[in-house]
Structure 1
Amino acid sequence: MNGKTIGVIGAGAWGTAMAQSLSSGGHDVELWALEADVVHDINTQHENKRYLKNIPLSPRLRAVSDIKEAASNKDFLILSSPSLYLARTVAQIVDIPSIVNGSTCIGVLTKGLIPTDTGPKLILDVLETVLPFAYRKNLVYISGPSHAEEVAAGKLTGLIAASENPKNSIRFRELMKVPGLMVFSSLDVVGVQICAAAKNVIAVIFGCLDAIAEQSNMFGDNTEALLLAAGLNEIQTLGFALGATHAETFTSIAGVGDLEVTCRSTYGRNRRFGRDIIQKNILDSFKNLDDCIERIGEIGYLPEGAVACKYIQEISRKLSIKLPICSGLYRILNKEIKPLDFLIELLR
């Protein structure tokens, strides 16, 4: 594929890493950032010092502060804003002519769920109500074990591009044939989205377990493997309850692959959050889960699992499905149970 014009909406670590990977592969990329210092640093020093420190960025990667500029007249547009802000961010670009007519192919990196008046919804379900009708069943969801630091550094990473429109999945697969990325197509947009959202919840509990294991002899590698397996079962249960279509999604890089790296890697923000709950008593600053979500910016990084666990709790209650680990994190963040007491209860 010849060099394409690409807009990336959201200059956090993952959005910046994807922009870097694509620009290094020969594409012209404009990256929208909300923060003026991020735009300045990327354009003058070729580094995102706020969100992706010490990673040199390609000179052909250009940052902009005007979201319409980043989204207009692009062959491809990639959405990477956090789930909490995604819908309102996308609402700012729906009147752009190349979006109105559907000529720009849109992919989504954001992981999580989005609240609506009728309950939490999957990312693509919400975006299809915000974007013009041309994008119904045409969006592409991109996920997999992909820590931003490694993607930006060019370390080989596998991703899944899932869409109900197989042609669009293939278009993104071809677009991302750049050094360091290996992309596979999928039709299971529900399963891939659930894996991306729910694995962050499991990773927070894993972080709690990891930190407690350093302080006592109660838990070890065997216990962590037990938790990972149980977590994967919960992700699959939730996925099928919501309409996942392929069992192999959960044993692919979108499922077990992303779960494993999110739980075990030192780059993982959700694992870090779990460790901080134990080691830094970070929850002492918040009254309950809602207070934590409302003031989540005070944490200093964004643990998506804290937000996702609230929405997964709502879904599991509505569908009457049992998800002990996800429910357990909800109880921990809501200050209904201590992490150690929950883990003992869960693993007995």
Structure 2
Amino acid sequence: MNPKSVGVIGAGAWGTGFAQALGRGGHKVTLWALEQEVVDSINNEHENKKFLPGFKLSENLTASTNLEEVATGKDFLILASPSLYLASTVKKLVTIPNIAEGDTYIGVLTKGFVPSKNGPKLCLETIENVLPGIYKGNTVYISGPSHAEEVAMGKLTGLIAACENPKNTIIFRELMRVPGLLAYSSLDVIGVQVCACVKNVIAVVYGCCDAISETSDTFGDNSESLLLAAGLNEIQQFGFALGATHAETFTSIAGVGDLDVTCKSKYGRNRRFGQDIIKKNILSNFKDLDDLINRVSEIGYLPEGAIACKYVHEVSAKLNLKLVICDGLYRILNREVEPEEFLRELLRLKKRVKR
């Protein structure tokens, strides 16, 4: 293998886990973190104690709070910033010489929609509108069933590299040819991005159902499988409405694979959030969905599905789509309906609740 220099922008759990996989495979990786404590923890103790505690990190992995330093002169740049901050982060990169000249390959790990004055946008559309023109159609979206903890441990994980330029999908597949990762190509950049975003919304509802099932005579494993299948249908419906090009995207690891692990894994933050809604009545701390998003740091972890839910609701309303599960989570988080009441209504166990 020919080792590459890689900058990873965002030292959250997923950014760190992905960087660890590349470092373990021999690449030289530098992580950008906003917090000095994270940088010190990675550089001095080879562990990201704040966002991915308990995992010894590769000697090939270092960190810095200097964004320009992390991005300068790299063969590859991987964007892993939260969706809310993706656009503002990318704007700081465009004058760096290797980015301005298009010499660095850019990939994106961020999941979700990015807010803009013209409404929510998918990640690749957002950054390609900010980056130099050479990146149009050439940035790569990386997704799949990939909890950071297992990636950091080196447990076998499949990922899809999606790009309009097939050559770039192959280049990223080669980058990810490291122990523990299997990489595949896709040309369906919209479909893969939609799967990565909307599965988090479904997983929150799944977590609610899972928690209710523990003490319910009505809901159980069968109900959860019904919910997962119905959720996949909504993801596919939403994806095609936005311009997804390949039906097999939704039956691949980008679709059903990622949805399954997000709903069922013990590491899933969105599943956990759904469970906490039931078991800890966590929504009682917030007035509505906007209040929750504004104060999301108070939860103690980031449930991406709660943020994505707002944008999926906005986009689906514009497209006149009927996404019952996604709309239901919006109503739950907006304090319009109780989770069990919604699930009963969803499964037609009682009359539909009036808005």
TM-score (norm 1): 0.99
CA distance in 1, matches of 2:10, 2:215: 38
Give 1:145 deviation, angstroms. Answer: 0.1
Query: Which position in structure 2 is the counterpart of 1:155?
Result: 155
Aligned counterparts of 1:215 and 1:90: Cα–Cα separation in 2: 46
Q: Measure, in 2, the Cα distance between the counterparts of 1:196 and 1:213.
A: 26
Give 3-state SS (helix, strand or coil) of 1:130's partner: coil
In 2: Cα distance, 1:296 partner to 1:102 partner: 36
Give the distance between the partners of 1:126 and 1:246, measured in 2 at CA: 22
Structure 2 CA distance for aligned equivalents of residues 17 and 222 of structure 1: 33
Name the residue aligned to 1:170. Answer: 170
Query: Secondary structure of the residue that 1:107 maps to in structure 2?
Result: strand
Q: Distance in 1 between matches of 2:9 and 2:290?
A: 27
The CA distance in 2 between the partners of 1:130 and 1:339, in whole Å, is 39
Runs of 4+ in 1 over 6 A off after TM superposition: none
- In the alignment, residue 23 of structure 1 is paired with which amino acid? G
* CA distances 1:196-242 after superposition (whole Å, capped 9, x unpaired): 00000000000000000112221111000000000000000000000
2:283 aligned partner: 283
**Residue identity matched to 2:61:** L
Match of 1:34 in 2: 34
Please give the per-residue CA displacement for 1:262-314, whole angstroms capped at 9, x wherever unaligned: 00001000000000000111111111000000111111100010011111111
CA distance in 2, matches of 1:218, 1:43: 51
Corresponding residue SS for 2:51: coil
Q: Give the Cα separation in 2 of the matches to 1:281 and 1:182.
A: 39
The one-letter code of the counterpart of 1:191 is G
Identity %: 69
**Equivalent residue, structure 1, for 2:71:** 71
Partner of 1:6: 6
Match for 2:187: what amino acid? L
CA deviation after TM superposition for structure 1 residue 130, in Å: 1.3
SS of corresponding position for 1:85: helix
Distance 1:78 1:345 in 2: 42
- Give the length in aligned residue pairs: 348
SS in 1 for 2:83: coil
Match in the other structure for 2:23: 23
Deviation sequence 1:53-92 (CA, Å, 0-9, x none): 1100011101111011111110000000110111111111
The Cα offsets for residues 134-179 of structure 1, whole Å up to 9 and x where unpaired, read as: 1111100000000000000000000000000111111000000000
Corresponding position of 2:261: 261
Q: Please tell me whether residue 296 in structure 1 is matched to residue 260 in structure 2.
A: no
The Cα offsets for residues 19-40 of structure 1, whole Å up to 9 and x where unpaired, read as 1100110100000011101000
The corresponding residue for 2:222 is 222
Distance in 2 (CA, whole Å) between partners of 1:331 and 1:134 is: 41
Supply the distance in 2 between the matched residues of 1:149 and 1:301 (Cα, whole angstroms): 15
1:246 maps to what in 2? 246
Which amino acid letter does the alignment assign opposite residue 114 of structure 1?
Answer: V
List alignment gaps of at least 5 residues for structure 2. 349-355
Quick one: which amino acid aligns to residue 100 of structure 1? A
Give the gaps of 5 or more residues in structure 1: none
Q: Per the alignment, in what secondary structure is the counterpart of residue 129 of structure 2?
A: helix
Aligned ranges for residues 1-348 of structure 1 at < 5 Å? 1-348=1-348
Aligned to 2:353: none
Q: CA deviation at 1:116?
A: 1.3
Q: Secondary structure at the match of 2:137?
A: coil
CA RMSD after TM alignment: 0.6
Instruction: Give 3-state SS (helix, strand or coil) of 1:106's partner.
Output: strand
Match of residue 351 from structure 2: none
Alpha-carbon distance in structure 1 between the residues aligned to 2:305 and 2:77: 26
